[in-house]
């Protein structure tokens, strides 16, 4: 199966490239061939360009790692955010609908930011987005469902990695430079190591490509090497296990990296005025994806340690 990866130079795209260097992952993905693209190779806001790439490369599936992810910036550039997070996603869905291919799209916990929630959020929870970023990401999900191509939507949260800009890299810099800093302690969620998400993406694709290519549903034998049951067209939630606040996450980063000379103090969101309403609670329930793929999900602290080792810290 030939897979087109969009946004391949972002942190998730780079993480996907990285995990595919692992012999174990590579063996699982042996029937997959990846074509990596970013904005310089493919403008996904141009439907004709997407169709041409799909046709010329013989693409069977698209993994969409692209999008407008600057949550604050989206408030100032709503048209651009909508173009990248909704219209471009619709283009990818149309291209896959026309060829019978699969679109695997990455969405966000922000689609739930408008309601007060207190327990892990299941996939069937009604979205309530707040702000341009959240609304445009939900519009992307809705565009896929409206086009009705074969699709997998994975909502995730608090993504970080060795690549690009993210909270872990920012905290590593600040705790090395500053004697003290404040970090918000009234927003609770779960950090997600991008390489763990990338492994889940490969698992979905490997099963789709090796066992039941171009079908409406997947059914597998039990065990850790294959899913037990998984609908091709469905929404899943994935983060690491556990939960914490941004303050607790920052403290763990400082502790595990040895940056103990910086005093980290908790504060409220109100102390950092923002254009954007961020979810106060966005812990996602992972039961559905665990059952579908037969996977054990690492705790966020264990994955943070792995990421820091990858940075040689």
Q: Which token pair is 284? A: 């996602």
Contacts of 237 (CB under 8 A, 6+ apart): 121, 122, 123, 154, 155, 156, 284, 285, 286, 288, 289
Contacts of 54 (CB under 8 A, 6+ apart): 4, 62, 95, 96, 99, 101
CA nearest to 130, candidates 293, 29, 277, 288: 277
Give me the catalytic one of 36, 68, 133, 193: 133
CA nearest to 92, candidates 39, 134, 151: 151
160 is catalytic: no
- Calpha distance 202→224 (Å, rounded): 14
Decide: helix, strand or coil at residue 34: strand
Give the position of tokens 């996904």: 44
Where are the alpha helices (H) located in 155-244, listed in sequence order?
167-177, 194-210
CB neighbours of residue 189 within 10 Å: 23
By annotation, the residues acting in catalysis are 133
């Amino acid at each position: 199966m030939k897979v087109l990866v969009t946004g391949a130079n972002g942190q998730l795209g780079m993480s996907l490239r990285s995990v595919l260097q692992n012999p174990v992952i590579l063996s699982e993905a042996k029937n997959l061939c990846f074509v990596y693209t970013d904005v310089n190779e493919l403008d996904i806001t141009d439907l004709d360009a997407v169709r041409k790439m799909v046709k010329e490369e013989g693409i069977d599936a698209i993994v969409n790692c692209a999008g407008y992810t600057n949550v604050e910036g989206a408030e100032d550039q709503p048209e651009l955010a909508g173009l990248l997070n909704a219209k471009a996603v619709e283009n990818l869905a149309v291209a896959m609908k026309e060829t019978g291919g699969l679109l695997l799209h990455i969405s966000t916990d922000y689609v739930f930011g408008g309601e007060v929630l207190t327990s892990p959020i299941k996939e069937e929870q009604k979205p309530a987005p707040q702000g341009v970023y959240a609304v445009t990401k939900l519009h992307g999900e809705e565009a896929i469902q409206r086009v009705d191509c074969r699709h997998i939507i994975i909502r995730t949260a608090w993504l970080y990695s060795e690549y690009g800009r993210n909270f872990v890299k920012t905290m590593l810099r600040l705790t090395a430079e500053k004697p003290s800093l404040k970090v918000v302690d009234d927003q609770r969620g779960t950090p997600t190591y991008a390489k763990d998400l990338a492994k889940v993406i490969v698992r979905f694709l490997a099963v789709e490509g090796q066992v039941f290519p171009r079908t409406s549903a997947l059914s597998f034998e039990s065990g850790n090497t294959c899913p037990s049951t998984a609908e091709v067209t469905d929404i899943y939630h994935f983060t690491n296990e556990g939960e914490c606040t941004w303050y607790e996450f920052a403290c763990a980063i400082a502790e595990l990296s040895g940056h103990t000379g910086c005093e980290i103090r908790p504060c409220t969101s109100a102390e950092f005025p923002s254009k954007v309403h961020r979810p106060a609670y966005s812990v996602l329930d992972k039961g559905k994806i665990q059952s579908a793929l037969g996977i054990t999900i690492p705790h966020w602290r264990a994955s943070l340690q792995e990421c820091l080792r990858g940075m040689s810290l």
